[in-house]
Each structure stands twice: as C-alpha cells, then as structure tokens.
C-alpha cells in the first residue's frame, strides 16, 4: 500500500512527522508537502510560476507550492500510484466552515477529485500538544478503509481535541461520527500604516463562541471527543434545486 502524506503547516511540521511515523507499518509512506507554512490557502493552485521540489529525505519532498499542488505532484509524478492520501496532522482545528478555507482539507479534496480515498486530520494546538491520539485514530481509519472502501468523491475530515479541550474523564480513544457544525470568527480588519505612510491591512479575528448542536464536529471536540465527518464533493443543494422550477424569470424559459 502506497500512502501519500501532505499538510499545510510545512514539510518540517511536528504533526506531519508524527503521522508519517505512525502510518509506516501500513505501507510505504511518501511525503510531499509545502516547503513552508501554507495555512488558509484553500484549494489554490500555482499556475503562473514554476514549482520547485527539493528531496529532503528518502521519500520526502518539499514543494514551493500549496497543499493542492503537492497532492497533484505526488499523484502524477513523485509517488507511485498512491492508494490513499492523508493530509495533516494540522496544527489547529478544521471545523465547520473552516473546510472552505483550509489547505489541509484541500489537500485531501484534491485526492478525492482523482478518485483516491482521502483523509484530512487536524488537532487543537497549544502548549503540551500530543499528536499521538490523532495519529492513532487515522491509523485505525486507514486500516478500516482497506476493508470498507470510501465512496468516490468522499473525504473524511478528522478533528481531535487539543490541550484546551482534552477532558480527563473522557478516554482519548473515544470519538463520534459527526456532521459539520458552525465555526464563526470575529470579523476584524486591522488597518495600519507602514514607515513610508502607506496603509496596509490584517484581516480576520479569533474564533468566537457558538452553540454546538449535538452531533456536530465542534460539539465533539469541545466535549473532549474525536470527530470524524464524511464530506462529499457534490455541493449541489438538492432540496433547493427541486423548488427552483417554481421561479419565474422574466424573459427566460426553463427547459
């Protein structure tokens, strides 16, 4: 079994190293990851610049691009026919709407677009973080996926509680099958002026508290549980699609 790993925290990130070590008994592990942090790049591709690749160790490659770039290169150039792609372990959660921004999730989605089973894995980050439980859950998921192949176009989005949400009374091996929850951030634009008098901006704020309905990924991790959410590449809102024929568009005819 050939396993391709990537991330968005960079090829030297601790979470990636722990994951590669933990999965090594399941097959041949190849790592194709960005040469530096590429968080929140979403599914961006590098189309107008060449990609540079450095071989940093046997089977390990650093790429001057995004996680999506790395998976594409890994599948079609650097990794012999991967059977599975795992993206992570991300240093921080990817819950709810995070999946639309996350380079980690994008790496897994890129694999699913090419009909390769894929897992994205993230963990809350902070002092004392231990990536072992996240790596162990992915190890178990990979073993299960060998017997129960994921449907085409499916990504498993995995999140594990970090130090701020670990609960001593909750066993570390407990998890939930979940749906996407809510993930809101404080809306903030910080305007500053550089030494030359030119205005520049920092966008985005920290997460804000939300109600976490039971059964969601956020509910699970905030309860000290691992979360596994199946994602599909079909973004069609089928319920709305069934109602749209009632709309009358002046000057147009629906066929």
CA-wise closest residue to 225 among 145, 183, 171: 171
Alpha-carbon distance 37 to 220, whole Å? Answer: 27
- pLDDT (tens place) for every residue of the chain, 255 residues total: 999 999 999 999 999 999 999 999 999 999 999 999 999 999 999 999 999 999 999 999 999 999 999 999 999 999 989 999 999 999 999 999 999 999 999 999 999 999 999 999 999 999 999 999 999 999 999 999 999 989 999 999 999 999 999 999 999 999 999 999 988 787 889 999 999 999 999 988 888 777 889 999 999 999 999 999 999 999 999 999 999 999 999 999 998
pLDDT digits (tens, 9 = 90+) for 125-170: 999 999 999 999 999 999 999 999 899 999 999 999 999 999 999 9
The reported pLDDT for the residue numbered 187 is 85
CA distances (Å), 194 to each of 44, 189, 203, 204, 215, in order?
28, 16, 16, 19, 46
Residue 104 has φ and ψ, to the nearest 5°, of -60, -50
Residue 180 has φ and ψ, to the nearest 5°, of -65, 140
Which residues contact residue 37 at a Cβ distance below 8 angstroms, ignoring those fewer than 6 apart? 8, 9, 10, 13
Alpha-carbon distance 122 to 136, whole Å? Answer: 13
The reported pLDDT for the residue numbered 206 is 81
The reported pLDDT for the residue numbered 184 is 78
| CA dihedral (36, 233, 1, 19) positive or negative | positive
The reported pLDDT for the residue numbered 197 is 95
- Per domain, the residue ranges of the chain are 2-183+210-246
For 146: left if phi > 0, alpha if psi spans -120 to 50, otherwise beta; the answer is: alpha
CA-wise closest residue to 131 among 83, 166, 85, 96: 166
CA-wise closest residue to 143 among 21, 4, 25, 227: 25
Which residues contact residue 188 at a Cβ distance below 8 angstroms, ignoring those fewer than 6 apart? 203, 204, 205
Return the CATH number of the domain spanning residue range 2-183+210-246: 3.40.1210.10
CA distances (Å), 185 to each of 12, 164, 182, in order?
28, 18, 10
Q: At what angle do helices 14-23 and 132-147 cross, to 10 degrees?
A: 40
Judge residue 99's burial from the number of C-beta atoms within 10 Å of its C-beta, 0-12 exposed, 13-18 middle, 19 or more buried.
buried
The reported pLDDT for the residue numbered 41 is 94
Structure pTM? Answer: 0.94
């Amino acid at each position: 079994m050939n396993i391709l790993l990537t991330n968005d925290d960079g090829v030297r990130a601790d979470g990636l190293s722990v994951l590669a070590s933990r999965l090594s008994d399941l097959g041949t592990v190849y790592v194709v990851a960005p040469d530096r942090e590429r968080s929140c790049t979403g599914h961006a591709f590098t189309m107008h610049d060449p990609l540079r690749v450095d071989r940093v160790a046997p089977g390990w490659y650093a790429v001057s691009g995004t996680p999506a770039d790395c998976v594409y290169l890994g599948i079609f150039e650097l990794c012999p026919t991967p059977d599975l792609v795992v993206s992570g372990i991300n240093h921080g959660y990817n819950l709810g709407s995070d999946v639309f921004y996350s380079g980690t999730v994008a790496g897994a989605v890129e694999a699913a677009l090419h009909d390769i089973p894929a897992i994205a894995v993230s963990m809350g980050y902070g002092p004392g973080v231990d990536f072992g439980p996240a790596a162990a859950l992915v190890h178990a998921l990979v073993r299960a996926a060998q017997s129960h192949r994921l449907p085409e176009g499916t990504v498993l989005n995995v999140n594990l509680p970090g130090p701020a949400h670990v609960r001593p009374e909750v066993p570390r091996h407990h998890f939930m099958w979940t749906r996407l929850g809510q993930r809101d951030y404080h809306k903030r634009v910080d305007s500053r002026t550089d030494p030359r008098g030119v205005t520049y901006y920092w966008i985005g704020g920290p997460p804000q508290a939300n109600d976490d309905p039971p059964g969601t990924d956020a509910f699970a991790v905030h309860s000290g549980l691992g979360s596994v959410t199946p994602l599909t590449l079909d973004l069609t809102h089928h319920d709305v699609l069934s109602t749209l024929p009632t709309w009358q568009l002046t000057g147009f005819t629906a066929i």
